[in-house]
Amino acid sequence: MLTSKQRAYLRGLANKLDTILIVGKGEITDNIIMQADTALTAREIIKGRVLENSSYSSRECADCLAEKCNADVVQVIGSKFVLYRPNPDEPVIVLPKAKKK
């Protein structure tokens, strides 16, 4: 679970990213899940887009992919969404520490 500061940090990183995952009018197939999973392993953070003719909203698509790929939804704006999953072997992104209560 991401804190609001970590989420804000990741949103800043995502601004520079290109959209690499596009969900069209079909269902969320195993191929799309595999692409997202592979990209998350390689990059840790990805930006996706849902086309207008899709039967999914961008929030539904982001939540579904996050669940299937064991990732966190960072942001959903309009038709775009950002997913994050740290690489357990070689982490590239260092998140700000969460404050302890």
- Amino acid 27: pLDDT: 84
Q: How far are the Cα atoms of 13, 76, 83 from residue 61, in angstroms, in the given order?
A: 21, 10, 11
pTM of the model: 0.92
> Is residue 57 helix, strand or coil?
coil
Q: Cα–Cα distance between 34 and 57 in angstroms, integer?
A: 20
Please give the chain's pLDDT, 101 residues, in tens: 889 999 999 999 999 999 999 999 888 999 999 999 999 999 999 999 999 999 999 999 999 999 999 999 999 999 999 999 998 888 888 888 877 66
Q: Cα–Cα distance between 58 and 80 in angstroms, integer?
A: 6
Q: Which domains does the chain have, with CATH numbers?
A: 4-84 (3.30.110.60)
Q: Give the tokens for residue 25.
A: 């009018």
